[in-house]
Amino acid sequence: MNIGKIAANTQNILKTGKGFNSANYNSKTLLKNISEISPQEIGELNYSHNFTEFVNKSYDLIKKCFGIKDDICPKISVSILPPQYKGTYSYKDHNIYINAVIPKIKTVKMFKIISHEFRHVEQLFNGLRIDKNSKKNLEGLAKCTANADTLLIRELATKRSAESIKDVFKNSTTSEKLQALTLEGCRLYDESPELYDKFEKQIFSKLLDEKLQFWGNIQKDIIDTYGTLPLASKTGKKFQKIFDALLKVPKLNLGYFFRPHEKDAYSVSRKAGRKFKSLLKQYIRTNFYSD
């Protein structure tokens, strides 16, 4: 995939001015649209039969609040994650994962976790539609995700046997394609480290092309649907700072939670949690305490 061609397409989108004003898709989207959820919907959600049903119903309601189109909205799945994660939005594959083995958790807390991860999706979408930085942000995201996949392959292929790699991938969220590339890298590294180095360069180039295509298509849909976000605006500056933070991968320590993208996501999820409690109280009053 030609970076210049994608950039030219993006610039053409920006010039056409398609989509509605950026004010319709801003930092308050969830909180503006959560009023569309009824107490009845929250009540039925709260009394879901099982964990997976609750996650899926929450996903449908929160997706409606954010107003993200189905064809560019991430999928959600309940998967086994490292214990420090209750949930995560992976921009490597544009999916939201909820940990299947987290301890019993209150419904409002789970609703907040899913809201938090959806906010990361919105942060990334807003970064891709910033007018003057659309090309730079697209290329940065593509390189970041291609590099993350390449590093995963290297970490496993050069330090583990094929059998131990297969064990690592059991119950993993890693795609079958990436698993196959890792095993191929392992085979080549066993033959010769030089062969592996050549393989890695080819793989990175291929992955970069694929990521540019994938995110370039999503960027086009975002801008066509939601319009551009002026970098000079207060909201534009805020989301550029958040987007830059999203692409950095620091250690998961206390300082991580004070980074711009996490502070913003926690703020939104806290407000979503308060709204959940308020709607649930209305549901209980109406259905259990009415005359």
- Are 54 and 48 in contact by the 8 Å Cβ rule? The answer is yes
- Are 228 and 14 in contact by the 8 Å Cβ rule? The answer is yes
Q: pLDDT tier at 257 (50, 70, 90 boundaries)?
A: low
Residues 8, 36: Cα–Cα separation, whole Å:
38
Q: pLDDT tier at 188 (50, 70, 90 boundaries)?
A: very high
Q: pLDDT tier at 12 (50, 70, 90 boundaries)?
A: very low
Task: Dig out the tokens for 268 from the structure.
Answer: 């939104």
- Are 88 and 81 in contact by the 8 Å Cβ rule? The answer is yes
Which pLDDT score, from 0 to 100, does residue 209 have?
95
Query: DSSP secondary-structure letter at 19?
Result: S
- Are 99 and 85 in contact by the 8 Å Cβ rule? The answer is yes
Residue with tokens 């119903």, as numbered in its chain: 57
Question: Is pLDDT at 26 greater than 70 in this prediction?
Answer: no
Residues 69, 95: Cα–Cα separation, whole Å:
14
Q: For 28-41, what is each residue's pLDDT tens digit? A: 455 556 667 889 99
pTM for the model stands at 0.83
